Amino acid sequence: MASRRKIQYDDYRVAVQQIILSSSDTDYLDHLIPALKDATISHRTPALMQSLSHYADEREADIERIGLTRHEEFLQSITQLQEVREGTVALTAEILKLNQSIQASTEKLAAQKGALVDTKAVRQNIAEASEALKDSLKILHAVNQAHELIRKKKYYGALKALDDLQNEHLIPIIQNKYATQHKLADIIQKSIPASQKAISEAVMTDLNTWLYRIRETSQFLGEVAFYHTEMRRTRQKERMESNPYLRHFKLNSAIELVFDESEEFDALDNDELQVDFTPLFECLHIHEALGQSDKFRSDYAATRRQQKELLLTSSVDLLDEDSDSSLSSLLEGIAGFAIIEKATMRKAPSLRSPVDVDELWNSMCHTAISLISKALDAVDNAEVLLKIKGVIALFIQTMDGWGYSVSVMDNFLLVLFEKYAELLKRRFSDDFQEIVSTDDYMPMPISNLDEYDKVVNVSWFTPDKPREDLTFPCVLPFSQMYPLCCIDIRNFLNQFYFFSDDHFQHPNVIDETLKKSLDELLSEKVCKSLVERLSSQYLGQIVQILINFEHFETACTELEQLLVAARSSTSAGGPIVLNATEEFRSNKKTAEKRIFELVNSKIDDLVETAEYDWMAPTLETEPSNYMQTLTRYLSNIMNSTLLGLPREIKELIYFDALSHAANMILALPLSPEVKKINPNGVAALAKDVDYLAEFVDSLENAEILKENLDELQQTVQLMQSENPDEFYDTTIRNKKFGRVDALNGPKILEKLTYSVMNPTRTERLANFSSRFGMR
């Protein structure tokens, strides 16, 4: 502090020097006032007075020194000095007065300065408070902005605002413990998790609303997807009709997809339906930002599983297509749900993994199969089952296009097909049974050309005459049951292959099942039923069954070729052989035998009516009644009942009938009851045999048929022979009586009555035994 006073003192000496040496009053005051002001302000007025006194003492010393040396000058100086002193006193008075004035001003200034300092402090506090308030308002504005974004459902923006609030405002303030807003920032920082939770809950609320709408929309989405698939089917069929090569490519094949590229369709965004995934993406984005992705994925998966359970009904009605529990509604709902899942997986791979989606898909498929299987017991109509298959096939094709595995549903179609084949077989079995049982077994009458064309078109039948040469009315060889069965067979084939329309991955199963079912129907319901009717005593019915057998055999042969042509490429190669073909063929023989039995039985009945008087006293002039009836019967069945039979069968029946008739007639004289036969009896028999031979001569192929009468005719000739011993001569017998049985000849001859000259029976037998080495 001493150095500072010295400097100030020195300064006052300089100031005093400048004051004393002033050249004018103005200059004098200019130097005096600053020195006084400074001394007053700094409270160093005594120092200034001391400097002035010191300067005066020095000047007095100088004066005294000058006075001693220069008296006059000294006196002058004293005078001047007195004047100066007077001026100094006056000046001092003025200085004191001025000092008092300056001191008063200084005190006032100090007070004002103190007030100013206080004001500045208040203003500083106000400024700091204002700045703190502004910063707090910024924080509160950011908080309000975040909550306003939440209210506007701009959740990600709100979350970003909270994050910016933390990074830009809260964290720096919290790190500075002396910051004015520290407490406010701490409170807001603690409220951030609650705000984030509010955002999470709000976005989940929106997501749940979206999920609910999606669940409600699933069925309609599936319906739209089914409709699109149906349109693709239609376009593919049109392409196949114009280009048969495309028949090798099914729906969803690469070729079909290439052809259908021009038909752009988005099942999730079209004129009928728009599915907006924004809520889902926003929710996923929010949870990723919150670091809750795993929890969100878990919650979302659980929610979708619950919705899957709600989607699937407890039962399905396969008979009512309009009810909410119908098959279409069930599969449309599953399809819509699965499409949403697949679209979600494609748009947000991190949210839905293929494993999760496939797990839900397989669960829904197995549940649907279980529901359908339970309801199948109520289905007893093949057409209804075909519609069910059509809905399932549409479902399979739609979901196959979305990349789902449809093998489970494809395998279930095998179960449906087994049921379908069973229902078809049952229905057509009843139809065949009714056709066979209600047939009149008469040749089918045709009244006009249109009717003829219809029958020919549905039947496997090759007419003998061109249709232009036909005259109506006419009859066809088969009975009405044959074309009716042909119609049913064609319908059976068509309805079997209807199952493979649109989609069925097991065509070889259809081929095998169709062959087996058709074979069983033809064998069990047609052939076996016809064989049972062979027990009838009505020859015309048996003949008609034989004719029908012939045509069914032809039909089976044609069916074998048809089945080969219709067989799928996946089936085994080689020819197809129906067991029914051989059964119809073999049972033709059974029918022929039955015809033989009936014809021969009739012949037996007629021959049994023969009333030969073997010892007739007179000669008969007319053939016997039984012979006339027999020939008339053979003629009638040839020209009516057997007319429709194939020529070879008809000839065989005639051949057998004549052979049997000849044997029966021959058995008459050989009967043990006949003891004697006189020439009149022989003549009566000969007349009947000649009558029969004349009838045979009038027939076609008479030479062949007449061979059946050789033994009978030669036996009669032997009975009429004048020298019966010729029979015992092998050479003559082989020439004249070669067809006569070697044992029957002697029996006949034994019964003949001859004249006395004729050998006795004992002699003839002895002669016969010696010729043939008999004892």
User: Per-residue pLDDT tens for 468-478?
Assistant: 888 888 888 89
Q: Are strands 474-476 and 444-446 parallel, antiparallel or unpaired?
A: antiparallel
Which residue spans within 497-596 are E strands per DSSP?
none
Q: What pairs with residue 476 in β-bridges?
A: 444
Please check whether residue 36 is in contact with residue 25, taking contact to mean a CB–CB distance below 8 angstroms.
no
pLDDT at position 769: 47
For residues 397 and 184, give the distance between their C-alpha atoms in angstroms, rounded to a whole number: 63
* In the block, residue with structure tokens 């007639």: 665
CA 588, 594, 597: angle at the middle one, nearest 5? Answer: 145
Q: Is the pLDDT reported for residue 687 higher than 50? A: yes
Q: What is the pLDDT of residue 304?
A: 87
For residue 245, give the DSSP letter. Answer: G
Q: How big is the CA angle at 459 (ends 453 and 460), to the nearest 5 degrees?
A: 120
Which pLDDT score is estimated for 400? 84
C-alpha dist (Å) from residue 356 to 304, 360, 410: 10, 6, 22
Contact 512, 519 (CB under 8 A): no
Instruction: Read off the pLDDT band of 41 (50, 70, 90).
Output: low
CA distance 95 to 80: 21
Check whether 501 has a pLDDT greater than 60. yes
Please tell me the predicted confidence (pLDDT) of residue 522. Answer: 92
Q: What is the CATH number of domain 609-771?
A: 1.10.357
Name the residue type at position 45.
T
Read off the tokens for 722.
Answer: 């004048």
Give the span between the Cα atoms of 419 and 385, in whole angstroms: 8
DSSP 8-state symbol, 522: I
Q: What pLDDT score does 168 carry? A: 62
**pLDDT band with cut points at 50, 70 and 90 for residue 172:** low
Nearest Cα to 162, choosing from 137, 143, 136?
143
Task: Label residues 539-554 b or e (16+ Cβ within 10 Å = b).
Answer: bbbbbbbbbbbbbbbb
- Does the pLDDT value for residue 648 go beyond 80? yes
**pLDDT band with cut points at 50, 70 and 90 for residue 43:** low
User: Stretch 431-457: mean pLDDT, rounded?
Assistant: 90
Q: Is 572 exposed, middle or buried (0-12, 13-18, 19+ CB in 10 A)?
A: exposed
Please name the residue that has the structure tokens 């114009």. 242
What pLDDT was estimated at residue 488? 92
475 membership: H or E segment, kind and range:
strand 474-476
Confidence class for position 758, pLDDT limits 50, 70, 90 = very low
Rounded to whole angstroms, the Cα distance separating 8 from 176 reads 47
pLDDT (0 to 100) of residue 7: 39
pLDDT of residue 145: 65
**How far is 639 from 634, CA to CA, in rounded Å?**
9
Please tell me which of 59-63, 138-142, 283-287, 516-520 the model is most confident about, judged by mean pLDDT: 516-520
Domain definitions of the chain by residue range: 2-146, 205-404, 421-594, 609-771
Kindly tell me if the per-residue pLDDT of 18 is higher than 60: yes
Question: Residue 515 has which token pair?
Answer: 């062959």
Lowest mean pLDDT, pick from 417-431, 463-477, 674-688: 463-477
Mean pLDDT on 245-255: 59
> Residue 552: which pLDDT band, with cuts at 50, 70 and 90?
very high
Rg of the chain, C-alpha, whole Å: 68
Q: What are phi and psi of 268, to 5 degrees?
A: -95, -10
Q: Which of 627, 594, 595 is nearest to 608 (CA)?
A: 627
> What are the C-alpha distances in Å from 302 to residues 279, 348, 365, 529?
18, 17, 19, 63
Cα-Cα-Cα-Cα dihedral sign, residues 498, 502, 507, 513:
negative
Binning pLDDT at 50, 70 and 90, where does residue 222 land? confident
Q: Which helix (H) or strand (E) holds 184?
A: helix 182-242
The answer to whether 421-594 and 609-771 have equal CATH topology is: yes
Please indicate whether residue 246 or residue 218 has the higher confidence score (pLDDT).
218
Q: Which pLDDT band, with edges at 50, 70 and 90, does 703 fall under?
A: confident
pTM (two decimals): 0.68
Look at 112-116, 128-132, 447-451, 613-617 and tell me which has the smallest mean pLDDT: 128-132
3-state DSSP assignment of residue 266 = coil
Which of 83-97, 318-332, 675-689 shows the lowest per-residue confidence on average (mean pLDDT)? 83-97
Residue 9: predicted pLDDT: 41
Which residues pair with residue 752 across a beta bridge? 677
pLDDT of residue 67: 62
> CB 20: neighbour CB atoms within 10 A?
14
640 phi, psi to nearest 5 deg: -135, -70
pLDDT number for residue 8: 43
Confidence (pLDDT) at 328: 86
Q: How many CB atoms lie within 10 A of CB 1?
A: 5
Confidence of residue 620 (pLDDT cuts 50, 70, 90): confident
**Cα 392 from Cα 405, distance rounded (Å):** 14
Average the pLDDT over 509-530 and give the result: 89
Tokens encoding 327:
């098959």
Residue with tokens 């010696």: 770
Residues with Cβ within 8 Å of residue 506, at least 6 apart in sequence = 410, 413, 414, 417
CB 492 within 8 A of CB 396: no
Q: Which residues share a beta bridge with 446? A: 474
8 Å CB contact between 510 and 497: yes
DSSP string, 305-339: HHHHHHHS-S--BSS-SSSTTBHHHHHHHHHHHHH
Model confidence at 122, in pLDDT bands (50, 70, 90)?
confident
Q: Where does the pLDDT of residue 243 fall: very low under 50, low under 70, confident under 90, or very high at 90 and above?
A: low
C-alpha triplet 366, 369, 374: angle, nearest 5° = 130
The average pLDDT across 743-753 equals 85
pLDDT at 5: 41
767 vs 27: CA distance, rounded Å? 214
Q: Report the distance separating Cα 44 and Cα 305, nearest Å.
A: 97
Q: Which fold has domain 421-594?
A: Tetracycline Repressor; domain 2 (1.10.357)
Given a cut of 60, is residue 221 above it in pLDDT?
yes
pLDDT at 348 over 80: yes
pLDDT at 236: 66
* Alpha-carbon gap, residue 326 to 313, rounded angstroms: 10
Separation of alpha carbons 521 and 525, rounded Å: 5
Across the range 617-634, mean pLDDT stands at 89
At 344, list the tokens.
């979600």
How far, in Å, CA of 722 to CA of 749, rounded?
12
- Answer yes or no: are the C-beta atoms of 493 and 425 closer than 8 Å: no
Which position has the token pair 């599983």?
Answer: 305
* Predicted confidence band of residue 581 (pLDDT cuts 50, 70, 90): very high
295 is written with which tokens?
């929890």
Q: Under 8 Å CB-to-CB from 509, ≥6 apart: which residues?
A: 414, 417
Mean pLDDT, range 755-772, rounded to an integer: 44
Residue 78 has pLDDT above 60, yes or no: yes
Angle ∠(52,54,55) on CA atoms, nearest 5: 65
Give the pLDDT confidence score for residue 772 in this predicted structure.
45
Q: Give the lowest-confidence range in 96-110, 126-140, 385-399, 710-724.
A: 126-140
